[in-house]
């Protein structure tokens, strides 16, 4: 009897183990597949969110910077990177700008702010901000409500006119806000208005550059429509109302017609010789040169 009982128990145990094995063979691959699909789903959602954030930031806070391509790299079910290749268009001349490598994962996204924030060079005789990868000078805008800047408010228009056979971008900051119509009457036709400086945080810039973004947009061929898109992009970018500068601008301007909206400055591009008309103009508070390019005979100029 004992032998029979032992044999029966062993047989039942083998059957139980066989059931567990078969169940594991069926269930484990299904669970792995579900885990893989769930991981890819959340990773894809995060990558889509990061794509949108990068395009929104470019639309509101990157003066005269265009996105040439955005591609995913190092992707897995847990996350990956989005590499953003960027450039500047200076009167038809494309100038390389820093590449962003931003990351995404299940828990969220991380924009490459390290490359978005300019570096700065300082010596006994010189100070300027620059793009960290290309080492090209970054044009600075000066807010009319900030009285003191670390290196003072610069006006580099006269210097840029001394560069022969070049095209340049120059950030023009006004002494007081103007409407677009007023601005167009002051800017020569042979210079291009490629970006409108609308607002930026009011902070202490006297101890050094804050690195905070300036907000504005490219007016394109239809400034009214571009302004509507800018407002829409601001709302989407700060959907949780965490950015005081954006929220104050929206509260003050959202219901205004574009013709009534005040503009703090403009980014201009053109041949360096064409900036001579702006030398010593009293409506200009500051003028900061950004990227430049040498004119070559095989690229046609806009102006």
Q: What is the pLDDT of residues 163-204, one digit of tens each?
A: 999 999 999 999 999 999 999 999 999 999 999 999 999 999
Kindly state the average pLDDT of the residues 148-177: 96
Instruction: State the CB neighbour count (10 A cutoff) for residue 262.
Output: 17
pLDDT(153) > 90: yes
For 5-14, 113-122, 151-160, which range has the lowest pLDDT when averaged over its residues?
5-14
Query: Average model confidence (pLDDT) for the chain?
Result: 90
3-class DSSP state for residue 56?
helix
What six digits make up the tokens of 140? 């600075």
pLDDT(135) > 90: yes
Q: Give residues with Cβ within 8 angstroms of 160, minimum separation 6.
A: 168, 170, 272, 275, 289, 292
Kindly state the average pLDDT of the residues 197-216: 95
CA 230 to chain centroid, in Å, comes to 13
What's the DSSP call for residue 279?
Answer: T
pLDDT at 28: 66
How far is residue 2's CA from residue 185's CA, in Å, rounded to a whole number?
Answer: 109
pLDDT at 35: 56
pLDDT at 54: 97
- Helix and strand numbers, DSSP H then E, in the chain: 6, 11
pLDDT tens figures, 86-113: 999 999 999 999 999 999 988 789 999 9
Q: What is the DSSP string of 146-193?
A: ---BTT---B-HHHHTTSTTEEEEEEEEEEEEE-HHHHHHHS-TTSEE
């Amino acid at each position: 009897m004992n032998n029979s009982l032992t044999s029966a128990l062993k047989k039942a145990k083998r059957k139980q183990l066989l059931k567990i094995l078969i169940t594991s063979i069926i269930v484990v691959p299904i669970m792995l597949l579900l885990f893989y699909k769930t991981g890819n789903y959340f990773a894809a959602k995060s990558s889509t969110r990061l794509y949108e954030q990068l395009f929104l930031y470019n639309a509101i806070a990157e003066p005269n910077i265009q996105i040439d391509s955005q591609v995913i790299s190092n992707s897995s079910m847990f996350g990956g990177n989005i590499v953003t290749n960027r450039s500047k268009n200076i009167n038809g001349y494309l100038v390389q700008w820093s590449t962003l490598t931003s990351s995404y994962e299940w828990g969220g996204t991380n924009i490459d702010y390290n490359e978005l924030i300019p570096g700065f060079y300082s010596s006994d005789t010189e100070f300027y901000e620059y793009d960290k990868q290309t080492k090209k000078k970054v044009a600075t805008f000066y807010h009319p409500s900030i009285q003191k800047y670390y290196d003072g408010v610069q006006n580099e228009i006269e210097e840029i006119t001394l560069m022969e056979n070049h095209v340049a971008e120059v950030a023009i900051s006004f002494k007081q806000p103007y409407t677009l119509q007023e601005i167009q009457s002051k800017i020569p036709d042979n210079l291009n208005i490629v970006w409108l400086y609308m607002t930026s945080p009011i902070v202490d810039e006297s101890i050094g550059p804050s690195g905070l973004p300036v907000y504005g947009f490219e007016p394109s061929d239809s400034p009214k429509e571009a302004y509507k898109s800018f407002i829409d992009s601001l709302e989407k970018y700060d959907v949780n109302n965490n950015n005081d500068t954006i929220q104050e601008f929206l509260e003050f301007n959202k219901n205004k017609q574009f013709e009534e909206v005040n503009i703090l400055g403009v980014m201009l591009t053109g041949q360096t010789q064409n900036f001579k008309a702006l030398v010593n103009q009293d409506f200009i508070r500051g003028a900061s040169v950004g990227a430049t390019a040498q004119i070559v005979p095989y690229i046609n100029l806009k102006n």
